[in-house]
Amino acid sequence: MTPTRFLATLEALGWSQRHLASLLQCDTNLPTRWATGRAVVPPALARWLDTLAACHAAHPVPDWRQR
């Protein structure tokens, strides 16, 4: 996963790097290293993020205010 794809995926999920670090229970600097290309996003994590982003795209939040 490229840094650009990593950031786009987080944006699609509505997550910040800090939120991801919290979910993963890792150092808050690790997502920054992935976002800048100073570290490689682990393949299993990349697949998980891509799967979640695809799920969010396929199933957006419903417009619950429709009458």
φ, ψ of residue 28 in degrees (nearest 5): -65, -15
The pLDDT of residue 64: 85
Instruction: Kindly list the domain boundaries of the chain, sorted by start residue.
Output: 3-58
Q: Is 64 exposed, middle or buried (0-12, 13-18, 19+ CB in 10 A)?
A: exposed
φ, ψ of residue 43 in degrees (nearest 5): -55, -40
Mean pLDDT of 12-39: 97
The pLDDT of residue 18: 97
Sign of CA dihedral 38, 43, 45, 49: positive
